[in-house]
Every structure is written in C-alpha cells, then in structure tokens.
Amino acid sequence: MLNPIPTVIFFTLHILLIQSQTHTSNHSRCPPFRCDQIDFPFPFSDQRTFGSGTIDCGFPGYQILCDEEEEEESTPVPILMISTQPYQVKNIFLNQFYDEGVVNLITLVNTDLIRDIKTDSCHSFRNFTSPSSGLLLPDWNINLTFFKCPSQFAPPQDFLDQTALNYTCNDEQSRLYLGRYVIVNSSQMNPTKRSFNNSITPRDCNLVMLPVSSADINVSSVNNGDIDRSQLGKVLAAGFPLQWKSDADCENCIKKKERCGFDGAKVVCLCDDGCNNTNSSK
C-alpha cells in the first residue's frame, strides 16, 4: 500500500509555491516605469501595456509612450498625449512645496510648436487645453499671448506697439503676433475673453495663450519687444509645468513598501505576502 503522506506534503508545498509566485508576480508587475533616464511613478504607466490586464500600473490619462527614434542608438523620448497633441516629457519633480501644499510637477515641451516657429508655420498655435485626468496648470503659471490674424489684417499702430514679434504663416492665410505682456494666474481666467491687461484682441483675430516656464522666460525682453524667433524657441523648449497631487491610497501602499495598481475603480496595493485593496475610485 502506498504511503499518502509524501503525496500530501508535495501537494501542500506545490500550493505554497504557487501562492508565493503569484504574490511576487503581483509586486513585480508595476515597477517604476523608466524612459530616457526619467522614472515615472504612479499614476503614470507604460502606454504599451496599459489595459492589457485586470490591474493597470497607473490611472487612465497618465500613459507615457516611450517613443523609439528611427536612428539606431538613439535615446527613447517619453511622450504624453493631451487632447491629441503629443508633448515630450522633460522632467518630473516630486514633493514640491507651494502655497497650495505639496504637489508633484511634470515638465512638458511641445516640439511641434518649436518646429513650426523655425519653419514659419502656424499649424500648432492653438490654446492649451488642460487634460481631464487631473493634471493641472499651477496657479503661478505664466502664459505667452499670441494673436492669429488674417493675412489681410491691417493692424493699427497701437496694436503693433503692444507686440514683440510677428511673422506671416507660410501654410495658412494668416499672420502671427506675439503680445508684449504675459498672463499670470491664467489658469483661473476664461480664455474666451477678448480683453487682457487693457489690450483688446482685434476683430477677426484669435487669441492663443501658450503656457511657459516662469523660470525660463525673460519677461522684460518680451515687454520691451526685444525678442526674436530663436529666443522664443528657447523659451518654448524649456517647457511648462503641470501639477498633480499624490493619491492618498497609493501613498499608504508605499508606506508599507508595496506598489500601487489600479483595477479600474480603485487603487490596489501590490505586495509579496498579500494585502488589502483600498477604496479610492477614479
């Protein structure tokens, strides 16, 4: 007669091994996502794997495309899509202290816009639309103001006196004017208004407001009209910040040395020895 004890022991060890592998797999499935020397924390995740399983490694709207350039040995470029417009991610700063509390910042660059300036194009000049994901322009944000006018528009002298730069768009029947002033705290303003800082948007012209970094713009140069397209390109290449606040449930996971996931309704902790889901819904 066969002894059943070794079989029972083997079966028990097999179950324990499977459980251990499952928990380890859960913990290892959402490591920090790295692209171009930037480590993207939760709620960001790899666009290529988002939605491929029951648990994602980030929230919807925070997907990063690690774009491989065509040239060999080139550095991957992290891209974040906002309202169908791709933005290159330049940097991430965590746990920054401001008046509104502790926030995180991501710096974005509109490379299409920089290319357009170099080629006399106006195709990418349109108002920035804040994403619905929770990424916000900071209250201390600074915007450059542009006026996109018909090419036949005859600007009055008082309007020209308030512009720092203008050029004719080669791909449209329009001309672009850069205002001599910047808008502070513009995230609280209505972009459809026609009046800013006592300057009126001319009839048949469209006001375009583009966020820039307050640390990389020489406001006096713009105000004095002392700026050319190469300088403007450098200002835009410095990027602009968006902020987000860390998710409280994810922070609790991290305090327990666990990782964060999202099951479509709430944040879940991923760990080696089992843990409880939280009730955060997004």
Give tens-digit pLDDT for 17-62: 333 333 334 556 788 889 988 999 999 999 998 988 889 999 999 9
Q: How far apart are CA 39 and CA 66, in angstroms?
A: 12
**Confidence at residue 171, expressed as pLDDT on a 0 to 100 scale:** 75
Q: Which of 25, 52, 38, 92 is nearest to 262 (CA)?
A: 52
Q: Which of 35, 91, 37 is nearest to 63 (CA)?
A: 35
Whether residue 20 is contained in a domain is answered as no
**Confidence at residue 8, expressed as pLDDT on a 0 to 100 scale:** 42
Kindly give the parts of the chain with pLDDT less than 70: 1-28, 68-74, 100, 183-199, 216-226, 272-282
Whether residue 279 is contained in a domain is answered as no
Residue 34: CB atoms within 10 A of its CB come to: 14
**Confidence at residue 3, expressed as pLDDT on a 0 to 100 scale:** 53
**Confidence at residue 231, expressed as pLDDT on a 0 to 100 scale:** 86
Q: Which residue range(s) make up the domain with 120?
A: 25-29+39-256
The pair of three-digit structure tokens given for residue 174, joined into one six-digit string: 């329009």
Q: Is 237 left (phi over 0), alpha (psi -120 to 50) or beta?
A: alpha
Residues 6+ apart with CB under 8 A from 59: 42, 43, 133, 134, 262, 282
Q: What letter would DSSP give residue 43?
A: T
Bridge partners, residue 129, by sequence: none
**Confidence at residue 238, expressed as pLDDT on a 0 to 100 scale:** 92
SS (H, E, C) 107-170: EEECHHHHHHHHCCCCCCCCCCCCCCCCCECCCCCEEEEEEEEECCCCCCHHHHCCEEEEEECC
Whether residue 244 is contained in a domain is answered as yes
Whether residue 138 is contained in a domain is answered as yes
Domains in the chain, number: 1
Whether residue 264 is contained in a domain is answered as no
Whether residue 262 is contained in a domain is answered as no
Whether residue 263 is contained in a domain is answered as no
Whether residue 15 is contained in a domain is answered as no
**Confidence at residue 203, expressed as pLDDT on a 0 to 100 scale:** 85
Q: How far apart are CA 29 and CA 57, in angstroms?
A: 8
**Confidence at residue 133, expressed as pLDDT on a 0 to 100 scale:** 79
**Confidence at residue 70, expressed as pLDDT on a 0 to 100 scale:** 52
**Confidence at residue 142, expressed as pLDDT on a 0 to 100 scale:** 87
